[in-house]
């Protein structure tokens, strides 16, 4: 099994009502629970919608507040999967896909 | 949802919606009302954080406390980030220690923050329709699409109202405080008026999304109850009583399949006796002092209906007297129509029709379907099926509610049978 990082980018939740947010969360929770049940979930956390971008030792750019919600990376999840195809399938089943795009990045691991 | 799983926990329905106003109220109190939008953004971020965090780590034992703690931390971070520009920073920033900053939030009393918010959202400088939209958005935790559905307006119109209200707020035109002294009466009047309108939006319309509209009534009651705790004044209790009595009859107003059930056909055994008792208690609290408000009169009318053993045994002349007092206090052709409807019970349909005919000329009633529905019913009782049909057809043409339309069609079919 390899590990894959799922990055949730472009959160459109700024316009969602509290009721809609709760509905989304319930779908997301069910998905997470399935991940946990299948022993796939390694880690996951929300990210603050701001931070810095360090370009080089002299250049640190404040990232956010974002004018475009689609620039925000809302959170990440690390899951275990056999290969990239399986990881893609997992991400396809994530209900947040309706509200953001998901980057699927294999976590590099040393062979052997 | 994931019931039976201890590590995820079960979420209370509408938890986000019911916590949202509290979080916004507490944060706004520290940022100032002109920075309402900042508070709303931070609360929205809090909900997003909850979604990600709870999904991985499970729902915390006390979700509301988690949300409040995270919202406050986000607020303090915001203050640190934005420097001295914000009023909140001036206020909190005097004490540099983080523990002391947290202290400021501890002192803040949630109830107090909510009450200030109620007065601010119902400020007389805001146009009444804008107030309603704002109350739904800020005090009830509705999204703008939900505000639109609740008020039976388009989303664009809802956003326009919210925009106008927000503009006035961000310009600093409205203070976030519960007024006292001489100012209180007038301000309280504006609040009660807004809560009454909110309740009425939910109560009187039979169209739209039934569920969300019943929610409107419950939201209005929740806010009014909060008001009674701190402003235990006769009109506040009177409005609360009125809402209790009306809500007690909720389930009897719609028949199977959601059809309209006329008042005299309602099954009184389905009326909620707990709410009627609560209403009577509120009405007795409202009886202090000698000022009689419209809420007193409307609540008394509702109480007489709720406590009458049957439709036939209703104290019609007592109720008519109350309606007349109400019309003297706030002259309104709809009240005169009500007086005439009661008159029909006491003196028969002909007298009532003679009282209603002059009302046809009232501009306010020109497109009011109930005027014609009433005339139709009275002519039917007087044995004039032809006149009854003419009036019912007019009511049918004027109504925009599909439930009412079905009801009038049924009446028409019965008359021509």
Q: What is the pLDDT of residues B50-99, one digit of tens each?
A: 988 898 888 999 999 999 999 999 999 888 888 645 454 444 444 334 44
Domain range annotation of chain A: 2-106
Q: Nearest chain A Cα to B147, which residue?
A: A17
Task: Indicate yes or no: CB of A25 within 8 angstroms of CB of B2.
Answer: no
pLDDT band at B213 (very low <50, low <70, confident <90, very high): confident
Task: Indicate yes or no: CB of B5 within 8 angstroms of CB of A13.
Answer: no
pTM of the model: 0.79
* Chain B residues 73-92 within an 8 A CB cutoff of chain A: 81
Cα distance from B10 to chain A (closest Cα, Å)?
A: 10
A19 touches chain B (CB under 8 A): yes
Give pLDDT tens digits for B257-315.
667 777 888 889 889 999 999 999 999 999 988 888 999 999 999 999 999 999 989 99
Q: How far apart are CA B38 and CA B27, in angstroms?
A: 9
Phi and psi for B313 in degrees, rounded to 5? Answer: -90, 15
Q: Nearest chain B Cα to A31, which residue?
A: B55
Range in A49-58, B165-174, B354-363 with the lowest mean pLDDT: A49-58
Q: How far apart are CA B298 and CA A31, in angstroms?
A: 51
Q: How far apart are CA B68 and CA B12, in angstroms?
A: 16
A39 touches chain B (CB under 8 A): no
A25 touches chain B (CB under 8 A): yes
pLDDT band at B176 (very low <50, low <70, confident <90, very high): confident
Mean pLDDT of B175-182: 82
| Residue A73 confidence (pLDDT) | 83
* Chain B residues 41-60 within an 8 A CB cutoff of chain A: 41, 44-45, 47-56
Please give the CATH architecture assigned to the domain spanning A2-106.
Answer: 2-Layer Sandwich (3.30)
The mean pLDDT value of chain B amounts to: 86
Residue B151: both structure tokens together: 């008020």
Sign of dihedral through CA atoms B267, B269, B271, B276? Answer: positive
Mean pLDDT of A73-94: 93
Task: Indicate yes or no: CB of B56 within 8 angstroms of CB of A44.
Answer: yes
Instruction: Look at residue B100 and tell me whether its pLDDT is greater than 50.
Output: no
Of A21, A28, A41, the CB nearest to B47: A21
A45 touches chain B (CB under 8 A): yes
Cα distance from A22 to chain B (closest Cα, Å)?
A: 6
A67 touches chain B (CB under 8 A): no
pLDDT band at B3 (very low <50, low <70, confident <90, very high): very low
B contacts of A77 (beta carbons < 8 Å): 56
Q: Could you count the other beta carbons within 10 Å of the beta carbon of residue B226?
A: 15
Of A14, A33, A36, the CB nearest to B44: A14
pLDDT band at B372 (very low <50, low <70, confident <90, very high): very high
Cβ-Cβ contacts under 8 Å for A33 (sequence gap 6 or more) = B2, B5, B8
| Residue B402 confidence (pLDDT) | 79
| Residue B209 confidence (pLDDT) | 58
CA B169 to chain CA centroid, Å, is: 22
Task: Indicate yes or no: CB of A17 within 8 angstroms of CB of B1.
Answer: no
B94-100 CB contacts, 8 Å cutoff, 24+ apart = none
pLDDT band at B413 (very low <50, low <70, confident <90, very high): very high
| Residue A50 confidence (pLDDT) | 76
**Nearest C-alpha neighbor of B292 from the set B324, B270, B320:** B324
The mean pLDDT value of chain A amounts to: 87
Range in B22-36, B54-68, B101-115, B382-396 with the lowest mean pLDDT: B101-115
B254 touches chain A (CB under 8 A): no
Percent residues over pLDDT 90 in chain B: 55
Task: Indicate yes or no: CB of B144 within 8 angstroms of CB of A14.
Answer: no
């Amino acid at each position: 099994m390899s590990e894959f990082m799922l990055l949730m980018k472009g959160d459109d939740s700024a316009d969602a009502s509290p009721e809609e947010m709760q509905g989304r969360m319930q779908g997301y929770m069910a998905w997470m629970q399935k991940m946990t049940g299948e022993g796939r979930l390694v880690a996951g956390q929300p990210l603050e919608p701001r931070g810095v971008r360090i370009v080089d030792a002299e250049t640190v750019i404040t990232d956010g507040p974002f004018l475009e919600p689609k620039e925000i990376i809302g959170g990440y999840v690390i899951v275990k999967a056999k290969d990239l195809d399986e990881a893609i399938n997992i991400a396809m089943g994530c209900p947040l896909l309706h509200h953001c795009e998901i980057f699927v990045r294999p976590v590099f691991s040393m062979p052997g | 949802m994931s019931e039976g799983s201890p590590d995820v926990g079960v979420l209370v329905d509408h938890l986000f919606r019911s916590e949202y106003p509290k979080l916004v109220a507490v944060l706004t109190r520290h940022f100032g009302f002109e920075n309402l939008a900042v508070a709303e953004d931070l609360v929205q971020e809090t909900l997003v954080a909850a979604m990600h965090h709870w999904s991985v780590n499970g729902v915390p034992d006390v979700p509301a406390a988690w949300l409040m703690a995270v919202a406050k931390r986000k607020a303090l971070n915001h203050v640190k980030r934005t420097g001295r520009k914000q009023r909140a920073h001036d206020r909190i920033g005097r004490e540099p220690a983080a523990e002391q900053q947290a202290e400021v939030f501890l002192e803040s009393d949630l109830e107090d923050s909510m009450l200030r918010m109620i007065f601010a959202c119902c400020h007389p400088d805001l146009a009444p329709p804008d107030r309603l939209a704002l109350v739904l958005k800020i005090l009830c935790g509705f999204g703008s699409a939900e505000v639109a559905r609740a008020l039976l307006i388009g989303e664009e119109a809802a956003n326009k109202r919210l925009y106008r209200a927000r503009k006035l707020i961000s310009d600093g035109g409205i203070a976030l405080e519960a007024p006292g002294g001489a100012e209180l009466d007038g301000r309280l009047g504006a609040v009660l008026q807004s809560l009454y309108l909110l309740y009425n939006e939910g109560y009187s319309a039979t169209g739209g999304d039934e569920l969300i509209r019943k929610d409107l009534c419950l939201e209005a009651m929740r806010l009014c109850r909060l008001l009674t705790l701190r402003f235990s004044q006769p009109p506040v209790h009177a409005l609360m009583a009125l809402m209790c009595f009306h809500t007690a009859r909720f389930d009897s107003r719609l028949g199977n399949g959601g059809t309209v059930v006329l008042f005299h056909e309602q099954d009184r055994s389905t009326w909620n006796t707990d709410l009627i008792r609560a209403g009577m208690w509120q009405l007795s609290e409202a009886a202090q002092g000698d000022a009689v408000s419209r809420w007193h009169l409307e609540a008394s009318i509702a109480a007489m209906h709720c406590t009458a053993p049957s439709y036939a045994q209703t104290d019609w002349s007592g109720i008519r007297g109350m309606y007349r007092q109400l019309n003297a206090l706030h002259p309104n052709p709809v009240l005169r129509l009500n007086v005439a409807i009661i008159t029909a019970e006491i003196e028969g349909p002909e007298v009532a029709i003679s009282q209603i005919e002059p009302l046809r000329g009232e501009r306010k009633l020109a497109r009011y379907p109930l005027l014609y529905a009433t005339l139709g019913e009275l002519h039917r009782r007087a044995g004039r099926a032809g006149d009854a049909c003419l009036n019912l057809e007019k009511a049918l043409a004027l109504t925009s509610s599909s439930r009412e339309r079905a009801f009038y069609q049924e009446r028409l079919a019965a008359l021509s049978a």
